[in-house]
Each structure stands twice: as C-alpha cells, then as structure tokens.
Amino acid sequence: MTHKPIKKAVFPVAGLGTRFLPATKAIPKELLPIVDRPLIQYAVDEAREAGIEQIIFVTGRGKTAIVEHFDIAFELETTMEERGKDLSVLDPTRATPGDIITVRQQVPLGLGHAIWCARAIVGDDPFAILLPDELMIGKPGCIKQMVEAYNDVGGNLISVLEVPQEEVSSYGVIAPGEVKSDTLTEVTGLVEKPAVADAPSNKIISGRYILQPEVMRVLEDQGKGAGGEIQLTDAMARMIGDQPFHAVTFEGSRYDCGSKVGFVEATLALALEREDMGADVRDIAERLLAR
C-alpha cells in the first residue's frame, strides 16, 4: 500500500529557552551553534535529506533571526565575493523561495499548542515534526530512517531511545506493543513525564515525529497536561487505537541540546569527529583532563 508522502515538516521554535539564560535572552536557543552550525540548521538539513520540501517554523517573540538565517544576506555575499572568499559555506542556509513558512505562537503554552498553531499550513497532509534542540546525528538521519519506516507501515511514528529507568520522569515514555523488527515496535500507550514506578518502559520519545493531520483535531480540545502545558504526547495518546502507531528506535547518536550538559557533550562529540579540528580538540581535551 502506498502512503501519502511526507513533504511538510513543522519546527516548533517558540519556546523561551529558560535553561540557557542569559545566553537566550536576545538570541533564540535554536540559533546556538554546535561548533559552527546553529541547531536549527542541523534539523533543517536532516529534514531536507528525508525529502521534506516545506519548512514550517512556529515562531514567537524574539525569534525572527531564525528566519533571517535562511535568507540571502546580500551585503555579506557581495563583500565575500569581492574578497574572493568561498561562499559554499552558506549553501545550506539557502532556501528555495516560498519553501519557508512561519506561523506565530503568541504565548508558549506548550509543544502541543505550538504544533496546533501550524494547522492551516499542514492541512490534510501527514507531516514531520523536528525539535531542533534534540540533535540527532545518524546515517541516514533520524527523519529519513522514520520516513523509510513510514513508507512500509504508514500511520503515526515517533522516534524513541532507551534511557536508564531512573531518568524516565523527565520525558515522554511509550508503552511498547508488538515488536515488528529490530527497530520498529508498535506503540500501545504514551505517558508524559511519568513517575519512575509508573513508567510503562524505559523507551523515551526523542524529538522526531511523523503524524497524521487528525492530530490537529485532537489538539483542538486538548486540555493542559504535565507542567501546565498543552502536551503533544497527550494528544498522540488519544489517537492510539484509531490509527496505526509505531516507534522507530533511532540508529545514531542523540544529544539533548536543550540541557547545558547535553549541549557541551554535543559540541565536544562533533568537534572530535571533525576532520579540520578533531586532532587539535583531542589534544586540548587530554591536556585539560590531565590538569
């Protein structure tokens, strides 16, 4: 059976980024760089690799620099050209005209509410969601792995990874059903930030989703959940049983760049892997550790 292709992706970027204050007072969290690329760039590149054509940013106050990042910076490019500098470094920031759409979330009422703000653009199409502060590094990327699974099973998919049981209460957790393959498991339930004793598994939702447009109807009357926010997890949980729901175990590395320690870990890991600086960074890290 063929399933409607995934051509649209929603990037919720309207959060306040309070864990990174004061860095995020005037700069969106999503523009903080891991080495030399902002978080949002990694997420947009990952989406493009999976064949996504429409990039939908859910923005809020103080977030317009995210959209500007994907503009052509005329003065910058002209000056660089005059000085004979290589412009290819800017290639990933070039968007096809008309491919970037922004909608506004005036008040950050939660992830579920942010997604609902994109309902008119999503329309009747299935769509992907990428949380840019979860950095997923894989070959292929996480959303591509999920699109490949979607082409088989259709319906709704979420990416998951396993964490130590005592950490589950910071995350959305799945209740696993039938295991379909090494990386694909049916989902029979979802719970946001459960107490350790109540958690149905140690598989946590990790920032990537492929959802059917019906989720917008469910979000429409979704009340507040954990943390007083309108939770996407609660809306997805209500769809289980009506539509196929699967978890894809991501094969790759995931860094929680919404937390400071995760951000530093990502910076170190990616710098160590870089051909142009890996050896230097390793020397520096060893020197610092020997202090």
| Contacting positions for ligand UTP (CB under 6 A) | 12-19, 29, 58, 105, 108-111, 113-114, 131-133, 258
Please identify, using beta-carbon distances, which residue of 15 and 141 lies nearer to ligand UTP.
15
CB closer to ligand UTP out of 2 and 18? 18
Write the Ramachandran bin of 213: left for phi over 0, alpha for psi from -120 to 50, otherwise beta: alpha
- Whichever of 12 and 154 has its CB closer to ligand UTP, that residue is 12
Quote the least distance from Cβ 88 to ligand UTP, whole Å.
28
Taking the C-alpha atoms of residue 189 and residue 211, their distance in angstroms, rounded to an integer, is 15
Query: Taking the complex as a whole, how short is the minimal distance between the CB of residue 176 and ligand UTP, in angstroms?
Result: 24
Closer to ligand UTP by Cβ: residue 114 or 149: 114
Residue tagged 């964490």 (tokens):
163
Determine the residue with CB nearest ligand UTP. Answer: 15
Q: Report the distance separating Cα 43 and Cα 49, nearest Å.
A: 10
Question: Least CB distance from residue 228 to ligand UTP, whole Å?
Answer: 11
Preceding peptide of 140 cis, ω within 30°: yes
Q: Tell the smallest beta-carbon distance from residue 111 to ligand UTP (Å).
A: 5
> Is residue 207 left, alpha or beta, with left meaning phi > 0 and alpha meaning psi from -120 to 50?
left
CB of residue 150 vs ligand UTP: minimum separation in angstroms? Answer: 22
**13 versus 247: smaller Cβ distance to ligand UTP:** 13
Residue 184 burial (10 A CB sphere; 0-12, 13-18, 19+): middle
